[in-house]
A and B are shown apart, each in its own frame.
Chain A
Amino acid sequence: QQPVQSPQAVILREGEDAVINCSSSKALYSVHWYRQKHGEAPVFLMILLKGGEQKGHEKISASFNEKKQQSSLYLTASQLSYSGTYFCGTGGSNYKLTFGKGTLLTVNP
Chain B
Amino acid sequence: NAGVTQTPKFRILKIGQSMTLQCTQDMNHNYMYWYRQDPGMGLKLIYYSVGAGITDKGEVPNGYNVSRSTTEDFPLRLELAAPSQTSVYFCASTYARDSGGQETQYFGPGTRLLVL
Of the candidates B43, B58, B102, B108, the one whose C-beta lies within 8 Å of that of A91 is: B102
Contacts of A41 in B (CB 8 A): 90, 107-110
Contact across chains for A55 and B96 when beta carbons are under 8 A apart: no
Contact across chains for B42 and A87 when beta carbons are under 8 A apart: yes
Describe A's contact surface by its main secondary structure.
strand
Complex Cα gap A25–B45 (Å):
19
Contact across chains for B104 and A87 when beta carbons are under 8 A apart: no
A90 to chain B, nearest CB (A): 11
Q: For this complex, into which size category does the number of interface residues on chain B fall?
A: 20 to 34
Given contacts A40-B109, A95-B96, A101-B40, A32 and B104 within 8 Å (CB-CB)? yes
B24 to chain A, nearest CB (A): 15
The residue of chain B having its C-beta at the shortest distance from the C-beta of A5 within the complex is: B42
Q: Which of B50-70 contact A (CB under 8 A)?
A: 50, 58-59
Contacts of A42 in B (CB 8 A): 43, 90, 107
Residues of B within 8 A of A (CB): 31, 33, 35, 40-45, 48, 50, 58-59, 90, 94, 96, 100, 102-110
* Apart from A32-B102, A95-B96, A101-B41, 17 more pairs, CB < 8 Å: A29-B102, A40-B110, A41-B90, A41-B110, A42-B43, A43-B107, A47-B104, A49-B102, A55-B103, A87-B42, A91-B102, A93-B100, A95-B31, A95-B94, A95-B102, A96-B45, A96-B58
Interface pairs (20), CB distance under 8 Å: A2-B42, A29-B102, A30-B102, A32-B102, A40-B109, A41-B90, A41-B108, A41-B109, A42-B90, A42-B107, A47-B103, A47-B104, A55-B103, A95-B94, A96-B48, A99-B35, A99-B44, A100-B42, A101-B41, A101-B42
